[in-house]
Amino acid sequence: MSTLGIPKILLIGSDGQLGWELHRCLAPVGQVIAASLDGVHGPAVDLADAGSLRRLFDAVAPDVVVNAAAYTAVDKAETEIELAMAINAAAPALIAELAAATGIPVVHYSTDFVFSGHTDHPYREVDTPQPLSVYGKSKLAGEQALLNSAAKALVLRTAWLYGVRGSNFLLTMRRLFGERSQLRVVDDQIGTPTWSRMLAEVTANILYRLVQGDLDIDQVQGLYHVTSGGAISWCGFAKAICEGVGADCQIIPIPSSEYQAPAQRPAYSVLDTAHFRDTFGLVLPDWRQSLTLCLDDLKH
């Protein structure tokens, strides 16, 4: 605890899309120590360097850790295998070790890309992962390292994150609508667009209840699927964004086979969020509702 008895929350990856939202949403929960690769708003940390992570824990002595940092370049990971594994698998394993040593809770994020997509019903936490890409494999190794450790971990698998900051589909589409009159977008991958702000808000809500003692980490630790509600293809999502921003662009559906990407993506990666909703009693709004709010934010 800080000298004022306020919990010290070590946020790793505070400059990422989700980390940026967490930095703001976690402020009422405790003292946020915002660590990032560049150390812009707090200490610098490189998850690819075990020494750097150990020094960060020693210096901060956190009460809670939230890890929003990751190697997220899905296609590049196919050739940068070692780096992806170091950041997404070895670093979470070390975070687990360091958190277990002091018994502090850890929140970590994983991905729908741990699944193969060879199904037509929403994936549950008990379903067997079968990642198709290096990124998916590295994220699966990271979540397993935490879940199989002595750390008190909440691993939140999410999907198709977008928001007002960072590199994401919504911002890319919005830019392209201004540059092109026609766009070809993949229509045979189905998932759930999830606003990074919504994920940060539910994380803050859970952490608040944990630090207040209203939730017991021993009771709730484990793996959860956390996305918005509903499902759509990338093409459907692009059309909704186009309509939402009032752009005049023809969006043409194409199969994944026409959009050659180095990493294979699951054709269907909708996550069943019932376990999360039942455990924490939180509502996860439909993706269209969140998109409307996020687009409103972008207008101002």
Ligand X SMILES: NC(=O)c1ccc[n+]([C@@H]2O[C@H](COP(=O)([O-])OP(=O)(O)OC[C@H]3O[C@@H](n4cnc5c(N)ncnc54)[C@H](OP(=O)(O)O)[C@@H]3O)[C@@H](O)[C@H]2O)c1
Write out the catalytic residue numbers. Answer: 135
CB contact burial 200-216 (16+ within 10 A = b; e otherwise) = bbbbbbbbbbbbeeebe
CB of residue 39 vs ligand X: minimum separation in angstroms? 10
User: Residue 31 or 194: which CB sits closer to ligand X?
Assistant: 194
Specify the stretch interacting with ligand X by CB under 6 A; choose among 120-128, 156-164, 252-260, 264-272: 156-164
8 A C-beta contact, residue 95 and residue 50: no
CB of residue 216 vs ligand X: minimum separation in angstroms? 25
For position 17 contacting ligand X by CB under 6 A, the verdict is: yes
Specify the stretch interacting with ligand X by CB under 6 A; choose among 57-65, 159-167, 262-270, 283-291: 159-167
The residues with which 214 forms a beta bridge, in sequence order, are: none
* Window 66-85: contact mask with ligand X (x via CB under 6 A): --xxxxx-------------
Reference 149, options 141, 159, 157; nearest CA is 141
CB of residue 279 vs ligand X: minimum separation in angstroms? 20
CA 194 to chain centre: 9
CB of residue 166 vs ligand X: minimum separation in angstroms? 4
Out of 41, 48, 125, 277, which residue is the one contacting ligand X (CB under 6 A)? 48
For position 109 contacting ligand X by CB under 6 A, the verdict is: yes
Residue 126, C-beta contacts closer than 8 angstroms, at least 6 positions apart: none
- For residue 236, what is the enclosing H or E element? helix 234-245
Out of 132, 154, 159, 231, which residue is the one contacting ligand X (CB under 6 A)? 159
Alpha-carbon dihedral sign for residues 225, 227, 232, 235 = negative
Q: What letter would DSSP give residue 103?
A: T
Distances (CA, A) of 8 to 29, 58, 68: 9, 13, 16
Name residues contacting ligand X, limited to 199-258 (CB under 6 A): none
Q: How many residues bind ligand X (CB under 6 A)?
A: 26
- Write out the two tokens for 105: 């809770």
User: Residue 157 or 239: which CB sits closer to ligand X?
Assistant: 157
For position 107 contacting ligand X by CB under 6 A, the verdict is: no
For position 87 contacting ligand X by CB under 6 A, the verdict is: yes
User: Residue 11 or 214: which CB sits closer to ligand X?
Assistant: 11
User: Residue 38 or 243: which CB sits closer to ligand X?
Assistant: 38
Out of 11, 47, 146, 211, which residue is the one contacting ligand X (CB under 6 A)? 47
Out of 9, 10, 11, 18, which residue is the one contacting ligand X (CB under 6 A)? 18
- Write out the two tokens for 23: 């930095």
| Rounded distance between C-alpha atoms, residue 251 and residue 142, angstroms | 37
Residue nearest to ligand X (CB): 16
Residue 283, C-beta contacts closer than 8 angstroms, at least 6 positions apart: 277
Residue 164 burial by CB count (10 A; 0-12/13-18/19+): exposed, middle or buried? middle
Specify the stretch interacting with ligand X by CB under 6 A; choose among 12-20, 124-132, 172-180, 276-284: 12-20
| Rounded distance between C-alpha atoms, residue 42 and residue 21, angstroms | 16
Specify the stretch interacting with ligand X by CB under 6 A; choose among 46-54, 96-104, 200-208, 251-259: 46-54
The residues of the shown chain that bind ligand X, judged by CB under 6 A, are 13, 15-19, 36-37, 45-48, 68-72, 87, 109, 111, 139, 158-161, 166
